[in-house]
Amino acid sequence: MKKHLWLVILALMTSCNGNKKQVVFLGDSITQNAVINSEEFKGFITLMQSEVDENIKLIGKGISGDKVSDLLARYKKDVLELNPDIVFIYIGINDVWHKYDFGTGSDIDLYEKGLRTIIADVKNQGAKVILCTPTVIGENSGEFRLGNKFKDVETMEKMDEDLDAFSDIIRNLSSEFNTELVDLRKVFKNYISKNNPENKAKGILTSDGVHLNNQGSQLIAENMLNYIN
């Protein structure tokens, strides 16, 4: 009798684990770092996992350096095969930044076309889609250096214009496909304008002008949480 009862309990536990709501985060290094859980830094996925219901599983699928073309090559395996309930798509920094550093950025038409394919397939599978606009490359106005790559004022202005244009693509696609939208570019620019009186290139929401520090991670977590619970 005891053995039978234990088997029933084990079956129920397995069933509960199998019925967890799955939330996938598809993106680049910012998303890759979002699963970090160290004394020095806690990524936004880590922060959210501690806040959501225990039946919700958050899955980070970010790869450093990824652009939309890279997501197209892996979203079927990394997203569709998991049959998720919710998918956050957060991409665009490298699509802009790599154009100016390596000549390998994304044409804005390719960016839109690629996202359109991914969004349509994820929605057709029945998952809820949340689109996120890209944030910032440099937290200042003026010259900027990321690693050993220097950007003059003119280049910074062009990158900023590109980020605005790519963000508009995200906003328009969100409207077209009737998805949720986390306008992180707007959130970051508003926060930085209020909290960066010295016009620092980094250190407000990022560690290097692109990748998040703890405050940036917390800000993204706060803005994403409402779409999970």
Mean pLDDT score, 207-218: 97
Element (H, E) at 185: helix 184-195
Most confident of 16-25, 99-108, 144-153: 99-108
Contact 212, 205 (CB under 8 A): yes
Is the sign of the CA dihedral 21, 228, 92, 174 positive or negative?
A: positive
Give pLDDT, residue 18. Answer: 58
Structure tokens at 11: 């079956």
Tell me: pLDDT of 7 over 80.
no
% of the chain at pLDDT higher than 70:
92
Alpha-carbon distance of 114 to 176, in angstroms, equals 15
Q: Which of 109, 121, 118, 113 is nearest to 90 (CA)?
A: 118
Structure pTM?
A: 0.90
Map out the domains of the chain with their CATH numbers. Answer: 21-225 (3.40.50.1110)
Tell me: pLDDT of 186 over 50.
yes
Q: Which residues is 132 bridged to in the sheet?
A: 90, 182
According to DSSP, residue 82 is labeled: G
Phi first, then psi, for residue 196 (nearest 5°) are -130, 60
C-alpha distances out from residue 214 to 22, 36, 37, 40, 53, Å: 25, 11, 11, 8, 23
Could you read off the pLDDT of 123-161 as tens digits, one per residue?
999 999 999 999 999 999 998 888 778 889 999 999 999
Could you read off the pLDDT of 22-52 as tens digits, one per residue?
999 999 999 999 999 999 999 999 999 999 9
What residue type is assigned to position 68 of the chain? V
% of the chain at pLDDT higher than 90:
84
Mean pLDDT score, 94-118: 95
Mean pLDDT score, 56-68: 98
Q: Which of 74, 73, 38, 35 is nearest to 57 (CA)?
A: 35
Contact 223, 45 (CB under 8 A): no
Contact 95, 170 (CB under 8 A): no
Element (H, E) at 57: strand 56-62
